[in-house]
Copies of this chain bind each other. A is one copy, B any other.
Amino acid sequence: MPDAPSVDLVTSELHGSLEDPALTSMNLLNEVTSRFPRALSFAPGRPIERFFDLESVHSRLRTFSRHLAQEQGLSEEEVCRTLCQYGRTKGIVHELIAQNLARDSGIDADPEAVVVTVGCQEAMFLVLRALRADERDVLLSVSPMYVGLTGAARLVDLPVLPVASGPTGIDLGDLAAQIRTAREQGLRPRACYVMPDFANPSGLSLDLARRRELLALAEQENILLLEDNPYGLFHGSEGTPPTLKALDTDRRVVYLGSFAKTVLPGARVGYVVADQRVAAADGEVGLFADQLSKIKSMVTVNTSPIAQAVVGGALLEHDFSLEQANTRERGIYRGSLNRLLTGLHSRFGECPGISWNAPTGGFFVCVTVPFTVDDALLEHSAREHGVLWTPMSHFYSGAGGTNALRLSVSSLTAEAIDEGLDRLTRLFAEQQADILGSSGES
């Protein structure tokens, strides 16, 4: 028997995404987090877990089963088959999702245009896979951008052109310019990805006027908008403007939905609303959702109906309003955000060079500092000061974010926020002293 070779494969002969910062940075951040389990962490965008309850998983399954029997008239055998057997590729909670969208987001969605996916990540992947026909295709995205978007794009070899967010959440002049330049280079801009409410990572939101302008620009330039909305329900007292999809009269918007923050991350259920009309080579016209469904059948076949039932049960139990179901969580997130903003003000309000934005909702605040923020500093911060956060540079596809960090409040108590800020204060003071020290030396 021959000795086993010590190496069987080399990454240079595997898909390029595996060496891409988008995929490796996620791993690196998880790795740092796991090495410092006792550090206070402003890093993860995870929802509050203290209200999770395993019994509710059981009761939601039962609620959904009852719904199938009583409302849809299925026999016991048919209910069992629906939850246990292979099933509809586009999912089994599409009608409930359409009702939820009408109730919470002002979106009038055809249930047939809904594809239920394994989390919002799969929804994103399906859309990008469909839109990337050849090497001319490019995606635009507001920058700094969500790593999951960059990673999914990389998996289908779709370049992402960054669009400046500016102070208003999107610089429409830059978007128009990027589209123009791309076309001059023979490229084909297909869509622009945007989180209009409390974006990850910037925390920025688009106001109503900006949303209308963005829709008008998308129509004028003939591109799609990929609207991702995981945080919209976690707003302040003033609420949020209508979603892009609610304002969309022209089927410009592909709407990406997540239940990870509003129902349960462990269900891994998301969806996409894709009501665009697609003409096939034979002239037949169908929904974009059906094209995405074809791709889904070759990625995950269908989303676990058991997982879908957990989400479906939650929708039924809350009369389709996750806005209402999350009243308590929304209050907590808002309290945490205020605590963070107040704490930043009291500690750094007088510090030249340190600034931050002040979102009225969502999970994230972005802090700018007068020193370099990179992975080495994160590791130092974890080791020496016991506090974790995310370097903003991970959210830029090129240069950018080297002086900023993202703080997430979603999984911290008020006390942990205060203590975390104290630790951050020590880190910042140390770094600023270093700057003063080194500038003294020069």
Contact = CB atoms under 8 A, between A and B. Distances in A.
A324 to B, nearest CB: 20
Contact of A306 (B8, B57, B297): B57
Contacts of A32: none
Contact of A83 (B57, B154, B305): B57
Contact of A23 (B13, B298, B302): B298
A26 B298 CA distance: 10
A4 interface: yes
A75 interface: no
Contacts of A281: 11-12, 19
Given A13-B133, A79-B54, A295 B23 contact: yes
B84 A264 contact: yes
Nearest to A249: B1
Interface string A171-190: 00000000000000000100
Interface stretch (A45-53, A160-168, A383-391): A45-53
Interface string A70-110: 00000000011101111100000000000000000000000
A90 to B, nearest CB: 11
Residue of A49, A58, A154, A297 contacting most chain B CB atoms (<10 Å): A297
Interface string A270-297: 0000001111110001001001001101
B61 A81 contact: no
Residue of A9, A58, A303 contacting most chain B CB atoms (<10 Å): A9
Count the copies.
Answer: 2
Contact of A11 (B279, B300, B307, B310): B279
B129 A155 contact: yes
Contact of A85 (B46, B79, B303): B46
Given A52-B81, A305-B266, A4 B250 contact: yes
B118 A288 contact: no
Nearest to A155: B298
A251 B61 CA distance: 41
Interface string A291-322: 10011011111111111001000000000000
B54 A130 contact: no
Nearest to A286: B11
Interface in A15-41: 15-19, 22-24, 26-27
A122 interface: yes
Interface in A110-163: 118-119, 121-122, 125, 129-133, 148, 151-152, 154-156
A302 B268 CA distance: 8
B84 A277 contact: no
A132 B251 CA distance: 34
A291 B250 contact: no
A267 interface: yes
Contacts of A265: 84-86
A118 B300 contact: yes
Given A85-B49, A264-B84, A15 B297 contact: no
A7 interface: yes
A250 B119 contact: no
A2 interface: yes
A246 interface: no
A301 B152 CA distance: 11
A393 interface: no
Contact of A250 (B2, B121, B299): B2
A83 B267 CA distance: 9
A152 B10 contact: no
A237 interface: no
Given A10-B280, A13-B188, 12 more contacts: A1-B249, A9-B279, A9-B288, A11-B279, A15-B156, A17-B129, A49-B80, A54-B65, A54-B79, A85-B266, A118-B303, A268-B307
**Nearest 8 CB-CB pairs, A to B?**
A151-B298, A268-B304, A8-B276, A52-B84, A84-B266, A118-B300, A304-B307, A9-B278
20 contacts: A4-B251, A5-B277, A8-B288, A11-B280, A14-B131, A14-B133, A17-B295, A18-B130, A18-B291, A18-B295, A23-B295, A24-B294, A27-B297, A54-B65, A85-B265, A86-B265, A121-B299, A121-B300, A266-B306, A268-B304
